[in-house]
Amino acid sequence: MKTAKLLAATALVAASGVLAPQAQADELTLCWAAWDPANALVELSKEFEAQSGHTMKFEFVPWPNFADRMLNELNSGGKLCDLLIGDSQWIGGGAENGHYVKLNDFFDKEGISMDDFAPATVYAYSTWPKGTPNYYALPAMGDANGWFYRKDWFEKPEIQEAFKSEHGRDLAPPKTQMELLEIAQFFQEREIDGQKRYGAAIFTERGSEGITMGATSSMYPIGFKYEMTPGKYDMEGAVNSPEAVAGLEFYKELYKTATPPGYTDSYMEQSLDAFKSGQVAMAMNWFAFFPGLYADPDTGGDKIGFFVNPGQAKEASTLGGQGISVVAYSDKQEAALEYIKWFAQPSVQSKWWDLGGYSCHVSVLNDPSFADSAPFASDFLLAMDGVMDFWQEPAYAELLLAMQKRLHDYVVADQGTAQEALDKLIEDWTETFEDEGKL
C-alpha cells in the first residue's frame, strides 16, 4: 500500500459519436459492492448494452468483504475489473498508486464538466489531491448516513402524551443530537403493542468501518475535525479538541442508554434487521437503503419516516457514496470510457435516480420536482450539503483500523476515557503519516 506503483495510468479516448456500436464489441466487468443500488445499476446498464453493442458483467462483493477483495485486486494489478465503483476513501491510493485512469483529458474531449455534478461529490469522489482539478472518477452514487424511524409509533396518542409529559415538547423527528438522545432514551425498553422496544440502532462494528461511520455522525456535528489546517496534518487540537471529546462521549451515552442489548458489533445489516424486526424506534443507515426500506411491506410505507442526521454546533452528515473509475490495468479502457460517457448523460442520471440510485448530477438534484420525488429526497439534499468524510489518503486503511480500535475500545469495551482514546488516535495517525513522509 505504501509503495507507489510505477505503472502510469493513461486515459484512452472513446470513439467519436454517441455510443454507436463498435466494430469490436467488448465484455466489460464492473465491480462494486453487493447491495440494492447495484441491482438498480444492472437494470440501468441494459440501455448501455443496447446502444453500444458491448456487454456488461458485474462483480458484486458483500460489503464486509468489499474493501479487502477490491484493494487486493488493485494492489496486485489484477484485470478482473474494467470499471470500479470504489469507496470515496480509495481515491488517494487509486491516484497515487496508478490504479485509476486520470480522466481530465477524456472529460475535456467529450465535454464532460465537473460543474454539472454537486460540488461536494466532485470533491469527495473524484479529486486527488483534494480540491484540485485532477479527476480520477466520475461521481456515481451520492450517499450519506441518515436516519429512519417508526412513524406509526411516534403518532400513537399515548406515546405522544407520555413524551410531552416527560419533555415538555411534542414528539417529532429530532433536530439536534441532544433531541435524538432524548427520544432514543424515551423509547428504550418501552412496551409498545405488547412488546418491549428499544431506542435506536447505531453502528458499533469494529472489523471494517462501522463504528467510525457511526460515531462520526455524532462527532462531526458537535465539532470533531481531522486537521486544524486542511492539508497540513496538524491534528493536535482538532482530533482531540474538547468538542471532539464531547462528541465521542455523546456517542457512548447513546450506545449505553438507548440501544438493544448485545448490540456490540453492528453495522448496516444489523441496523436494518433491528428496525425491520420491530426492535427499535429509530435507526441510522445509509440513504442507499431508504428506497428498499420504504417499499418494505411490514415496516415501510405509512409506518416509516426519515430524517437527516441531526445537527448540534453545526449541520453535518457522515459521507458515504462512491465515484466510478476506469481501472488502469484493464485491457478494455476505450470501452470502459464509453460507459463513463454514457453514464454522465443527464437523461441517464435521471433514470438512475428513478431506479433507486442516488444521482450526483445537478440537473437531477436541482429539478423542482426532486424534493417531492421520494419521501427521503429532501433529506438527501440537506445531508449532501453538509457531508464530511474520513481521510482519503493512500494509507486510509491503516488510518481507519486505528480509529476503529480506539473508538470501539472506548465506546463498547469501556476502556479509558474519550480524551485518552483520541490522544492515542493522534499518536497512531502521526506514526502512519511519518511513515508516509507526510510529517
Q: 325 near 137, Cβ under 8 Å?
A: yes
Instruction: Return the closest-CA partner of residue 307 out of 148, 143, 432.
Output: 148
Report pLDDT for 347. 98
CATH superfamily for domain 27-143+321-388: Periplasmic binding protein-like II (3.40.190.10)
State the 10-residue block means of pLDDT for the chain, 439 residues long.
31 37 81 97 98 98 94 97 97 97 98 97 96 97 98 98 98 98 98 98 96 98 97 97 98 98 97 98 98 97 98 98 98 98 98 97 97 97 96 96 98 98 98 96
Amino acid 419: pLDDT: 98
Q: 210-222 vs 177-187: helix axis angle to the nearest 10?
A: 130
For residues 94 and 298, give the distance between their C-alpha atoms in angstroms, rounded to a whole number: 42
- Exposed/middle/buried for 410, CB within 10 Å: 0-12, 13-18, 19+? buried
Query: How much is the pLDDT for 9?
Result: 32
Among the four given CATH numbers 3.10.129.10, 1.10.760.10, 3.40.190.10, 2.40.160.40, the one describing domain 145-318: 3.40.190.10
Q: Do 145-318 and 27-143+321-388 have the same topology in CATH?
A: yes
pLDDT at 294: 98
Question: How far apart are alpha carbons 100 and 142 in whole angstroms?
Answer: 20
% helix / strand / coil in the chain, to the nearest 5? Answer: 45, 15, 40
Write down the pLDDT at residue 137: 98
Contact in structure between 201 and 275 (CB atoms under 8 Å): yes
Could you give the maximum distance between any two Cα atoms of the chain, in Å? 73
Q: Where are the domains of the chain?
A: 27-143+321-388, 145-318
